[in-house]
């Protein structure tokens, strides 16, 4: 056990997570603009270059950026796992990542090989860097929080996702054979279930009981969800590869894969159902938007799993593709987006207050004039948070319906998402302005 783990330096400087949080909505805006410009064509299939640019803009540029920022903030607090040289490593990671995502989007849209190859190097490099930083921090962690094992599996899944992504990207650039649909399906499965869902579940073990004062999740669920899902994904991947190569008894493998898919679905369903049950019996009874986001997220996860299975009943290949797209949209724009938006608002408002209080104490102790203290609802006023929630609901409904009627609704959905990310960008920037204002007129760097 490393005893120096818990020190004043434990919480990273505000600029570490915040740089990721501020650039994230910009990628959201870019993706929404693409949907407006390209319109219904983008949603026709998973394979259009525009669809690839939009989904990667959201998943990498928006969601993963926020997850990078949040993990650098949370790991020190959760596990006493401190990142080495937090400001420098966050700076390098951020620049590599943002450039990588921008080049990838440009590469998809233009089809230019140099852009794609450049982005693959940058994205691969930054994910490896992130993995190394997390690995270093966790090896030297001073406590073993119940969220940590799940986060480790999530980071490993991210690495696998990106390796598969690089192989697929080299297929797009013409350097390798394009492994469709097998490679894409594995890439999606590792990215959505391995990276995103495992990370959200691991964070949920802590934040759902904490923020809403509920009972803890059942211990077996906490203990087994991440290792089971990870193992199932590994077996599923190996079976897919063997089946493609024509080895062995194909029917047997297909039924085994089906059983794995059923088990994965049951695990995700259990997570969603328990989240709803815990929240229903929570001690904290006040009206709170944070809880609405989490409830919405859980319902969307259940609907997403249901749509995935319902798609098998579709009588045409096109309808099947549309219902699968709906399942993916409910997962990303519903489940993941709701949790991430809720967490982002809480974390940013809290960090601004927390850092101001810290500076205030330091200054008062040094005999200097203190700073204006803020509370969370002054940092992000209720009215603006409410506006965000309303726009988000409209945007979610419109994008879900647009998967079924792309011709009529794609551009409306794009416009509502543009509004969603616009309001978010403004709210977050104003939160940070309030921080700077509270510090006074002196030139004070973001600590």
Enumerate binding residues for other proteins (CB under 8 A): 1, 3-8, 10, 77-80, 128, 131-132, 134-135, 138-139, 142-146, 148-149, 152, 155-156, 159, 206, 210-211, 213, 219-220, 222-223, 227, 283-287, 346, 350, 353-354, 357-358, 361, 373, 375-378, 382
Kindly state the smallest distance separating residue 39's Cβ from other proteins, in Å: 41
Kindly state the smallest distance separating residue 128's Cβ from other proteins, in Å: 7
Report the residue number, 211 or 253, with the smaller CB distance to other proteins.
211
**CB hemisphere CA count around 427 (13 angstroms):** 30
Report the residue number, 37 or 213, with the smaller CB distance to other proteins.
213
Kindly state the smallest distance separating residue 168's Cβ from other proteins, in Å: 20
Kindly state the smallest distance separating residue 176's Cβ from other proteins, in Å: 21
Which ranges constitute the DSSP H helices of 140-249? Answer: 148-172, 182-189, 198-212, 219-244
213: left (phi over 0), alpha (psi -120 to 50) or beta: left
Kindly state the smallest distance separating residue 360's Cβ from other proteins, in Å: 8
Report the residue number, 50 or 225, with the smaller CB distance to other proteins.
225
Kindly state the smallest distance separating residue 217's Cβ from other proteins, in Å: 9
Report the residue number, 96 or 402, with the smaller CB distance to other proteins.
96
Report the residue number, 40 or 121, with the smaller CB distance to other proteins.
121
Contacts of 29 (CB under 8 A, 6+ apart): 418, 421, 422, 425
**Which pair of structure tokens corresponds to residue 288?**
């709170």
| Residue from 418, 424, 423, 320 nearest 54 by CA | 418
How many residues make up the chain in this entry?
447
Kindly state the smallest distance separating residue 202's Cβ from other proteins, in Å: 11
In the three-class reduction of DSSP (H, G, I as helix; E, B as strand; rest coil), residue 363 is classed as helix
| Residue from 94, 72, 74 nearest 84 by CA | 72
Burial (CB count <10 Å: 0-12, 13-18, 19+), residue 208: buried
Angle at 334 between CA 331 and CA 337, to 5 degrees: 100
Report the residue number, 308 or 345, with the smaller CB distance to other proteins.
345
Helices then strands, each counted (H, E), the chain: 16, 0
Phi, psi dihedrals of residue 179, rounded to the nearest 5°: -85, 70
Report the residue number, 175 or 382, with the smaller CB distance to other proteins.
382
Report the residue number, 287 or 443, with the smaller CB distance to other proteins.
287
CA–CA separation, 157 and 198 (whole Å): 9
**Which pair of structure tokens corresponds to residue 256?**
């085994």
CA–CA distances in Å: residue 328 to residues 15, 115, 208: 33, 27, 24
Kindly state the smallest distance separating residue 115's Cβ from other proteins, in Å: 27
Kindly state the smallest distance separating residue 338's Cβ from other proteins, in Å: 19
Report the residue number, 54 or 342, with the smaller CB distance to other proteins.
342
CB-CB contact of 25 with 78 (8 Å): no
Quick one: DSSP state of residue 194? I
CA–CA separation, 319 and 322 (whole Å): 5
């Amino acid at each position: 056990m490393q005893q120096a783990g818990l020190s004043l330096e434990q919480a990273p400087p505000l600029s570490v997570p915040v740089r990721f949080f501020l650039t994230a909505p910009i990628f959201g805006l870019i993706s929404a603009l693409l949907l407006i410009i390209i319109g219904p064509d983008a949603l026709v299939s998973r394979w259009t270059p525009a669809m690839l640019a939009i989904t990667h803009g959201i998943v990498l540029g928006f969601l993963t950026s926020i997850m990078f920022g949040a993990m650098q903030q949370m790991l020190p607090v959760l596990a006493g796992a401190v990142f080495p040289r937090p400001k420098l490593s966050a700076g390098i990671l951020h620049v590599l990542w943002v450039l990588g995502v921008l080049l990838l989007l440009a590469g998809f849209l233009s089809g230019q090989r140099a852009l794609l190859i450049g982005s693959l190097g940058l994205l691969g490099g930054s994910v490896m860097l992130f993995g190394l930083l997390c690995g270093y921090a966790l090896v030297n962690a001073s406590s073993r929080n119940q969220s940590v094992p799940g986060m480790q599996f999530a980071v490993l899944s991210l690495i696998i996702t990106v390796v598969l992504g690089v192989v697929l990207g080299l297929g797009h650039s013409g350097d390798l054979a394009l492994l469709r649909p097998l490679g894409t399906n594995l890439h999606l499965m590792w990215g959505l279930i391995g990276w995103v869902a495992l990370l959200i579940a691991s964070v949920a073990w802590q934040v759902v009981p904490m923020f809403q004062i509920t009972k803890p999740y059942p211990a077996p669920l906490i203990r087994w969800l991440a290792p089971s899902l990870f193992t199932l994904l590994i077996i599923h991947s190996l079976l897919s590869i063997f089946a493609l190569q024509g080895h062995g008894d194909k029917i047997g493998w297909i039924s085994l894969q089906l059983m794995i898919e059923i088990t994965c679905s049951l695990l995700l369903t259990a997570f969603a159902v328990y989240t709803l049950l815990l929240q229903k019996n929570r001690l904290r009874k006040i009206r709170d938007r944070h809880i609405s986001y989490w409830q919405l997220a859980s319902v969307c996860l259940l609907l997403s799993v249901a749509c995935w299975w319902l798609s098998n009943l579709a009588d045409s290949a096109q309808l099947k593709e549309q219902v699968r797209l709906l399942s993916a949209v409910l997962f990303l724009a519903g489940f993941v987006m709701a949790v991430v938006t809720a967490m982002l608002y809480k974390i940013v408002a809290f960090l601004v207050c927390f850092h101001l209080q810290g500076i205030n104490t330091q200054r008062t102790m040094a005999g200097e004039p203190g700073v204006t203290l803020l509370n969370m609802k002054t940092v992000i006023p209720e009215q603006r948070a409410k506006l965000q929630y309303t726009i988000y609901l409209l945007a979610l409904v419109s994008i879900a319906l647009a998967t079924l009627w792309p011709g009529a609704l794609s551009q409306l959905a794009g416009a509502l998402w543009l509004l969603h990310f616009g309001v978010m960008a403004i709210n977050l920037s104003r939160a940070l302005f309030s921080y700077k204002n509270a510090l006074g007129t002196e030139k004070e760097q973001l600590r």
